[in-house]
Chain A
Amino acid sequence: MATLQETIAKICPTATVAEVDGAPMITVDDAHWHELAKALRDNGDLAMDYLVTIAGFDHVDTMGCVYYLMSTAHNTNLAVTVNATGDREKPFIHSVADLWAVAGLYEREVYDFYGIIFIGNPDMRRLFLSIDWEGYPLRKDYDCSPEANPVPADNERQSDFTTTWVENPDGTVEAKQVEVFSPQDFVVNIGPQHPATHGVLRFRTAVDGETIKKIDVYMGYIHRGIEKLCEQQGYPQTLHYLDRMDYFSAQNYHHGLCMLYERAAGIEISRRAQVIRVMMDELSRIASHCLFMGTFCMDLGATSMLFYTLRVREQILDIMERTCGARMTFNYDCIGGVMQDLDSNFQHDVKELLKVLPANIKEYKKVFVGNVIARNRMEGVGILSREDAISYGVTGPNGRASGWACDIRKWRPYSIYSELDFEEVIRTEGDAMARFKVRLDEIEQSARILEQLVDNIPEGEHLVKVPKLFKLPAGQWFQLCEGCRGVFGMHLESDGGTKPARLKFATPSMPAAGVVDHLTRGEKIADLITIGGSMDYIVPDMDR
């Protein structure tokens, strides 16, 4: 803390530090922001090398961003609030895209939602919405009516140019047009309707023969405006959107958001509810990794693997269904506990699953991991170094395959994870095979957690009574949890009402898609499918 104060005082004496939600919250003006950011990252005692997310805000009189930073070396975190300069027409903030690689993408998102222009960002285009979109949807004065932006009948207008804003020495800011691809580039369009992009994601790929020169990732083909919808709903009503973001991590995301609300409202939940939540999280993780293996192998041409892995997934879905009543959108965790008590056969079913799992994992290894074709296609393909993984914010099994211990269950234990005995699976190769193997091994670790809990579900209430409409005190909170695909961050801003003033979800899929360009440069175009598949991004999760 002392180093932090010193660093700030040296760079910007006017900046203030307050304690918000257990972590320092620095408020700094835009002029000193870039310098401070560089110091926060490079100072060895602070080493804020991981940018979790950038959450824009619109307080009507001011606009700006909250940056959440974490240090992988010191296990500390802090937040920085930067207010934009300029009027509502053209608010400006200096970009930090040169410091954290993932910032470029996050800043484009803030620009898309709030219209805040980042000076120095090399690619200041809209991210989710088309270039002809009227207005910035997350601003408080945005016109949501369908008349303002009707459903387009024609194909979307496209530009091969992007804008970058540069600051002149006299302080004026000027827009410059930059080409995305050079006129000599041969650009192939992959997606949005393509079976190997795992949903509606689009890559504009510049190729030289079979070698990839550059990929321009187009998102937004399933952007549903969840963050804006959340601002129109009461707190308990916002939960169900999380089922539909990353539909494999539905339980994990629910768990995270419920924890956030419970912490903000000061609600204690029973031990039984916590155990149930963790068990459901781990069951989800196994099901999710199983489906990843199936679809990934199918992308590589091994269709039969899908049938083997979905066999286990169906068994887990049966367990879920008996308790939650649904196969996919469970809506099970709720504020104060879980919606329903466990099914009477739950323990028996989980034990049956644990019995068949080892044989299945052995089979997957035999069928696929040892397969010479699979090894040739996956080993050494798409190598991501640890530094790049942190800079690009690639978390979850992808980050752990690059040697970054980024499992929030171990890093920042929540719920009852600190009492459980399990290992964080880490590999150092960083290639597609490592990402595959990490997931395979994580299934074993999740099974270990289930084994410890299945006979130790304490008696008690599964749900604490919470009113359907409740108010949270004004303030800001930030919560992290481990989804099946990595770190899931939630930023909540309350103005004291029954609805969130701002709810921002930082999902693991977006950085995973953002790093594809970096990973595929110089690789063959056939490896794009391997690399993209091994990142295991879920498109509704990145688009929200």
Chain B
Amino acid sequence: MEVTAQGVPYEAFKDNEYIESLVKELQENGTNVVVGSLDKLINWGRSNSLWPLTFATSCCGIEFVSLGAARYDMARFGWEVARSSPRQADFIMVAGTIVHRMAPVLRRLYDQMAEPKYVIATGACAVSGGPFRNSYHVVKGVDQIIPVDVYLPGCPPRPEAMIYSIMQLSRKVKVERFFGGVNRQQKQADFLREHPVEGVNDAADFNTDGRQAPVSDKQ
């Protein structure tokens, strides 16, 4: 399968072993013609309208602003619809250092996003802690908190590099299986079980089938 990104020839982009292995894995058992074609159609749409979350903590965020302005113009790629609400966004560019105080906030933002969701660790700080790795208050890479799809080095990465990283992400989106794959829906009960809050018994609110219990049953 050929994975092109916005008309760039495949050969020019054939430097990402991760995508190659992903394609190989997905094609191992073949695909149903109907589902496969629908996947292709939906992924074509998804990969061309990736909406970022407006999220920036430091310097990298300013380069992200430059990316939105006229010179680098990410609107050319369909990425310009930066959403302020995580519920409407497809991916987070984690632009900047994540510190201890910010870590639970970032985790919550990620949890609030709807599936399928992606993360780009932008800049040295988000990748590994960068120049602040030895600090007492800095998280040594956001992959300690949330799963990362694309690592983008640089301090800060140039807007061109950011374009390249989102193109890599859209390549990944293109080869994914949508039906039965990334389009998984999580039941609310499962979510609450995986994210317990101290002092709150979520299980009591739900029956075993995952439906919310009637209000009168509650203590």
Contacts and interface: CB of A to CB of B under 8 A. Distances in A.
For the complex, would chain A's binding face be called helix, strand, loop or mixed by DSSP majority? Answer: loop
B59 A151 contact: no
A168 interface: no
Contacts of A129: 100-101, 137
A283 B102 CA distance: 33
A146 B69 CA distance: 39
Given A151-B144, A222-B58, A247-B58, A310 B101 contact: no
A141 interface: no
Nearest to A218: B101
A24 interface: no
B57 A221 contact: yes
B216 interface: no
Contact of A151 (B58, B70, B105, B145): B145
Nearest to B108: A155
Interface stretch (A66-74, A225-233, A456-464): A225-233
B158 A327 contact: yes
B136 A199 contact: no
A289 to B, nearest CB: 14
B101 A156 contact: yes
Nearest to A538: B58
Contacts of B131: 240-241, 244
B100 A149 contact: yes
Given A152-B100, A220-B99, A310 B70 contact: yes
A193 interface: yes
Contacts of B190: none
Contacts of A152: 100, 103-104
Contacts of A226: 132, 135
B138 A225 contact: yes
Interface in B88-135: 96-97, 99-105, 107-109, 131-132, 134-135
B198 interface: yes
A247 B155 CA distance: 11
Interface string B53-71: 0111111011101101111
Contacts of B153: none
Contacts of A13: none
A229 B198 contact: no
B84 interface: yes
B3 interface: no
Contact of B71 (A200, A222, A310): A310
Contact of B58 (A220, A225, A540): A540
B52 interface: no
Given A220-B99, A222-B99, A195 B54 contact: yes
Interface string A292-321: 001100000000001100110110000000
Contacts, number: 134
Q: How large is the interface on A (under 10, 10 to 19, 20 to 34, 35 or more residues)?
A: 35 or more
A194 interface: yes
Interface in B20-70: 54-59, 61-63, 65-66, 68-70
A194 B131 CA distance: 26
A240 B131 CA distance: 9
Interface in A363-403: none
Contact of B102 (A222, A229, A313, A327): A222
A540 B56 CA distance: 11
Contacts of B138: 224-225
A55 interface: no
Given A155-B104, A156-B101, A328 B58 contact: no
A192 interface: yes
Contacts of A137: 136-137
A328 B136 contact: no
Contacts of A241: 131
A329 interface: yes
A372 B174 CA distance: 47
Of the listed residues A149, A151, A226, A540, the one surrounded by the most CB atoms of chain B closer than 10 A to its CB is A151
B100 A130 contact: yes
Given A151-B139, A328-B63, A192 B102 contact: yes
Nearest to B84: A195
A220 B134 contact: no
B70 A244 contact: no
A153 interface: yes
A144 interface: yes
A248 B65 CA distance: 13
B57 A539 contact: yes
B92 to A, nearest CB: 10
A329 B59 contact: yes
24 contacts: A130-B100, A151-B139, A152-B100, A152-B104, A153-B107, A154-B104, A155-B108, A156-B101, A193-B86, A199-B58, A200-B105, A222-B57, A223-B137, A225-B135, A228-B135, A241-B131, A244-B131, A306-B65, A314-B66, A314-B69, A327-B156, A328-B59, A329-B155, A540-B57
User: Which 3 pairs from chain A and chain B are nearest by CB?
Assistant: A225-B135, A310-B69, A247-B59
Given A224-B137, A307-B69, 8 more contacts: A152-B103, A154-B198, A193-B55, A200-B102, A224-B97, A224-B135, A232-B134, A329-B155
Interface of B: 54-59, 61-63, 65-66, 68-71, 84, 86, 96-97, 99-105, 107-109, 131-132, 134-140, 144-145, 155-156, 158, 198
Interface of A: 128-130, 137, 142, 144, 146, 149, 151-156, 192-195, 199-200, 220-226, 228-229, 232, 240-241, 243-244, 247-248, 291, 294-295, 306-307, 310-311, 313-314, 327-329, 539-540
